[in-house]
Amino acid sequence: MSLLDQLPKVIRKELDSSDVKAQAPADDKPFLLCCSRDIEQHELELLKSYDKVFQFHESFRNIPLSSHQFRYGLFDLREKVHRDALQKEDLSRYHVVCVISLLDSRDDFVSDLKAENCVRSFPERQAFRSDFERLLLSAKIRKPSILKSLLRFLCFLSDGYPRE
């Protein structure tokens, strides 16, 4: 008889399968990255490091997106063929993220696409793809700015500027 056999049992109840929570299935919706600026090479390599990237070309205009295998689809919204291809698709089957330049955040295409998020730059490399994608879908937390607060206050005093 060992010393371990003499210790009292701490857990008296047997583990039941109802005690274990089922883990939520992973979200397998692919991403459509709708760009209003050029994607840099290091950004493309970052996406490729997580999974397959599909760069839309005008030769694919009559092929539905569902027939392509990809995790990240890149569309250049400056090209009419790319916009037309997106218009034909059911965008609810995808996570739509706009990759924009500094001045494009208030443009109409963001609301037209019903984008989940707008980013000017991609998140830093993460250990897991799920963390990277969570950051890609999350709105950026901005640092506090005294100047912005002061300007908003002055606008509020002048004509009741709504806070966004």
Question: Token pair for residue 50?
Answer: 């997580």
Question: Token pair for residue 160?
Answer: 């009741």
Q: Is residue 5 part of a domain?
A: no
φ and ψ at residue 32, rounded to 5 degrees = -110, 115
The proportion of the chain whose per-residue pLDDT surpasses 70, expressed as a percent, equals: 81
Mean pLDDT (whole number) for 134-160: 84
Report angle CA 157, 158, 161 to the nearest 5 degrees.
80
Q: Is residue 14 part of a domain?
A: no
Q: Is residue 115 part of a domain?
A: yes
Q: Which of 24-33, 59-68, 90-99 has the lowest mean pLDDT?
A: 24-33
- pLDDT higher than threshold 90 for residue 78: yes
Q: Is residue 100 part of a domain?
A: yes
- Amino acid 32 reads L
Q: Is residue 83 part of a domain?
A: yes
Q: Is residue 15 part of a domain?
A: no
Count: domains in the chain: 1
Domain that holds residue 68: 31-137
Please report which confidence band the pLDDT of residue 41 belongs to, taking 50, 70 and 90 as the band edges.
very high
pLDDT tens digits along 43-60: 999 999 999 999 999 999
pLDDT tens digits along 1-40: 566 666 666 655 555 555 555 444 467 899 999 999 999 9
Question: Token pair for residue 57?
Answer: 């070309």
φ and ψ at residue 76, rounded to 5 degrees = -95, 105
Q: Is residue 7 part of a domain?
A: no
| pLDDT at position 4 | 61
- pLDDT higher than threshold 70 for residue 85: yes
